[in-house]
Amino acid sequence: MNSYRIAHGFLVLWFAFSGTACSKKPNANRETVSSEPSVIDVDEEDPKMLKAISEARSTLPAFWKALDSPQSGESNFALKVKVEDEKGAEHIWLTNIERKDGEVYGTLDNEPGALTSVKLGDRLKIEEKNISDWLYLRNGKMVGNRTIRPLFSKMTPEEVDEYKRMMVDP
């Protein structure tokens, strides 16, 4: 079972293969995404989530293009990346994405659930094979973030409506 953490605001979710669910609900007044988000459990073989990850990976060239040459109103680029250590694997959002000398780096933007080798704020090298999603803002609305869509069926109608209002293409 995967756990999907959801935070209102810019960065929206990450999932943990070894995480534990909690019942805390999103708070629309939250100013940072690093506070404890709510969690939704999803089977690791969930076909809708696997499809969302596949779609995100297949559209990664659009993300790189926007990152390399952001248009007016485009900002806050982020990648969801699989991070592993002896405790397991988690898919965690990284921000401050930088491509330099053929390598990609980002800053861990979620507190890991089970992992002990990394912490919030760590700067990590990103291998493209470990990218499971991407997003950025365009004029204040999210572009990308395909892995949130499979979670809509597990959210309240109000939560779904709120996320859809935040997205360019819900």
Element (H, E) at 62: helix 60-68
Give CA–CA dist 142/83, Å, rounded.
Answer: 23
CA-based nearest residue to 144, from 47, 25, 3, 13: 13
Dihedral sign, Cα of residue 166, residue 167, residue 168, residue 170: negative
How is residue 118 written in tokens?
């990394």
Question: So what's the pLDDT on residue 170?
Answer: 60
How is residue 40 written in tokens?
């939704």
Residues of the chain with pLDDT under 70: 1-42, 170
Element (H, E) at 58: helix 47-58
Question: So what's the pLDDT on residue 151?
Answer: 85
Question: So what's the pLDDT on residue 155?
Answer: 85
How is residue 14 written in tokens?
């990450």
Task: Tell me which residue range forms the domain holding 51.
Answer: 2-166
Question: So what's the pLDDT on residue 40?
Answer: 61
If one counts the domains in the chain, the total is 1
> Exposed e or buried b for every residue in 86-122, given b needs 16+ CB within 10 A?
eeebbbbbbbebeeeeeebebbbbbbbbbbeebeeee
Question: So what's the pLDDT on residue 91?
Answer: 80
SS3 83: strand
SS3 53: helix
